[in-house]
Structure 1
Amino acid sequence: MNYLINRLKEASTWRGIILVVAGVFGWQMPPGIQETVIAGGVALAGVVGAVVPDNVKKK
């Protein structure tokens, strides 16, 4: 359980979840809406990447 909680604290996990959801929902939509949903998902993933800090541990 701690493994999952620790993964949910990482920005890359959230970007991946957003991209998978946008891809799955976008795939099922008509072409015009499909492009908007996927582009919105990519943009949201970019915002998460820019806002959520990377957890870099220095040794």
Structure 2
Amino acid sequence: MSRQWKTIAKEISREENWFRDYKSVLDREGITKLEIKREAERRKNQLKSPSRELS
């Protein structure tokens, strides 16, 4: 049981490290949350439009 928890803890810390690294890269490049949100919206809209053309 304890070995399983160690594995889970390792996975969690790996995720946190990845997110921290990713965020620091974004911060360094001066990308704001608003810009990330806009980009997400743009991609979502891009995904919607091809399906509209198919139907």
User: TM-score normalised by the shorter chain: which range applies?
Assistant: 0.3 to 0.5
**Greater helix share, 1 or 2?**
2
